[in-house]
Structure 1
Amino acid sequence: MAGDLSMGVCGYLYTPAYAPWPEEELAWLKAHGADPLWHDWGSRTYLEELLQGVASGSVQQVLLVRLSDLGDQLDEVHGRLLQIQQAGVRLSLVRADGLQTPSTAGEWIPLLAEVPHHLQSRRRRQSQAQSRLAGKPPPGPPPFGYRREGGRYIPDCRQAPIVQDFFRHFLLYGSLRQAVRFIAEKHHKRISVATGRNWLLNPVYRGDLAYADGTVLRDTHPALLSRTEAAQIDRWLKRNQGIPRRSASASRALAGLVHCRACGSLLRIVQTTPSKGKRNGSSYLYLRCQTCRYSLRYAEVQQEVIRQVCEQLPQRLQTLDRQALAQTRQQLQAQLQANAERLRQLEELRQAGLLDEPSLAQRCYQLRAETARLAQKLEQLPPANLTQTVQTLSLLPFWQDLSESERRAYLREVLRKVEVDSTGAVQITFAFDPL
């Protein structure tokens, strides 16, 4: 971007090819009267023209955001800075809080001391950007379960089984705390609950790479978690967001789901213990409302909840706009196919010599990031076999054959909330019902 060099105040900004568009810095220069405003992206074509204008005397003041924009090496920056000063041109630095025009040696020293740091930071970001465009892992140690080899992650034969056992236990029981305790007991690997949650959310274990700019690239290395398992984990975590953490990890199927219709508080699950004199007495589970002071038999509430699920779930399925879901699925699949075709065409342009490597890498990176976003949206849609799943969940014998942990898994899949009152009346709200 450039204007006529006949004007006296000229702004110059350099942006590496990998960096985002510097809207804020351009706005700073414009706000301080930079006209013309020269912006180099990757190359330094406009910088040479600026220096020609300085030598010809048509520029009276140069506005910069940082001195390191004048070159890629320290001697380049010093040489061009000296060229501007010897021409009698005033140089000012634009900051977020105003304009700084150094004139004395005391004002120049700290500014010149920043240049080596800025150049080193730029080279580091450029190296990281090149690795990112090539689909290589970000800097830093690899996540637990992987090691670096040949510029990519590969599973570590000693650590990967621990991570996979953690995922299997969580998928089976849906309890994060139990999964953390499980690997501590079986593998003597102690991690915090927060670390376990990070494992569940980390794209690395799904075969993807996530970068600091929020971009995710799919299928960059072998995964420790299949796409189906990852989608199941995402649904588990989404269902558990509105449930207290202890209830989310509790073993009972109704933990964290049952609320009092009168006061809205969450009912606690309490187990009675027979007294010492009643050896033959049996213990019972109760749902207790601490606010309204009443208790309900847990087994009776659970049976009524399951009965209503079997009765109402097929009816709720009829109200879903399955045609709209199918259309959305088809649109996402068509966009994914279109992106795959664009990637193929880019490779043909590269082989024909019609596209340079930096532009090709940047465009491929953008397409792969967009593909990852589309694929994530597709995976978050209800499963294609939703009708068959609903038919199975509508059979009462199916629920009777399940363990308590398995009932909890299915109930949290289909239910958002269960409301009860002191009389034992039950009202369920499905997860896909409108809020």
Structure 2
Amino acid sequence: MKAALYTRVSTDIQAEEGFSLDAQLSRLRAYCESQAWEIYDIYTDEGESAKNLQRPGLQRMMAHIQEHHLDIVLVYRLDRLTRNVVDLHNFIQELEKHNVSFKSATEVFDTTSAMGRLFITIVAALAQWERENLGERVRMGQVEKIQQGKRTGAHAPFGYRYEGGELVPDGPAAQLVQDIFAKYLQGWGTMRLLRWLNDTTDPKLTPISGRWSQNTLRYLLDNDVYAGYVRYGFGSRSKGETIIEPGDHQPLIDKATWKHIQKLRQKKKSSPSRSGTGSYPLTGVLRCGRCGAPMIGKAKGHKTGRRYYMCSERNSSRTCDLPYIREFILNAMIRKEIQNIYEEQDNIDKPKRMELKNLKQSMDSKLEEIERRRSRWKDAFEEGLIEAVEMRERLDALQEQELELRAQREPVAKEIDYSEVELKLLKSFSRIWQEANMHEKKQVVNLLVRSITVYSVTQVSIAFA
């Protein structure tokens, strides 16, 4: 059985008797010897706390677990690995996924025995209880705060700032909020408001408002904090529970004005939309290359019914200058780009693909050499040829080399990692596109493509799934 020995000390307890790296390692080696386990590698985190699992040595061990090099993870004590029951539960689940056992040398935590598995089951139940209990405590605390008229949000909404923990109006920004509500009452729509708010030539607006989007403006118009209320449960995690209470902060608009504006907002929201994107197969993956917003489909002209894709920010706020792009032009660009990708992959085959495979094999050989060098340094330590401090320095240097090499290997592996199915789809994409219906086109796009960024009527960039 191949064992991973994991040791850790944090800076504040490194000198404590019985917890030094050498003391932990000595105990773990003795335990492996008593069980006739083969020590595959030693993973050490020096000066690292147990607050989370993001530690270099632990992450290197996790990589070896995922590569199926290990059979069991051995620690001196459970708190050397983690002090968080949820982290422990997640760690054990990851081990189980790769058929790796877990054992504490000085405690009953042991997934190789019935009693140990019982304790792990208890840990899982405790982890679930802790998650639910924490959520309930947070919810109760937030509800209590709302009932006291306090706001639970982390950031002050635009127009306010925190002063001594209390919301207070923020000068020019507060005045701008009042102007927005006043103009909306006068009949200004959101598109007109956005053009005004994003007018870079207005010296009164530029220093305080920045760039406004449709979502930002809608959030402001629907936020009852400006009428003097505080709320809980407005977001998606509220499980249907919404609590609104009078706040103890100064409102920027009176309640009568707020109620009138919400009636106007509700009336506009209930109006049917005149356009949709359901019949546009590229929506969902298209992104504007100039502002980063999603792109939508839109038909122009009742008689001609010309179909376009356009930036959603240009459609809503007029703050983006990406031009409308005819659907057939964009389809042609994408078909050409995908054909180019296929031809590149097809041409990689002989010399290039072989070169990349050789490069990947070379990197794999270097990774194996790093493992051999680790073993030699550990052998030298066991024979008393080097001190523990020197061994840790050597192992840390090898760990840095391994992480850098794995980072270089990943893009090379991906470049030659197209499956046969994906290559066939790339090859026949143009034919499929011509014959498929809208729903089928969308399925093919979602299967092959993660995102398509449109920079102009002649330039697109495709990120494949």
Give TM-score, length-normalised by structure 2: 0.29
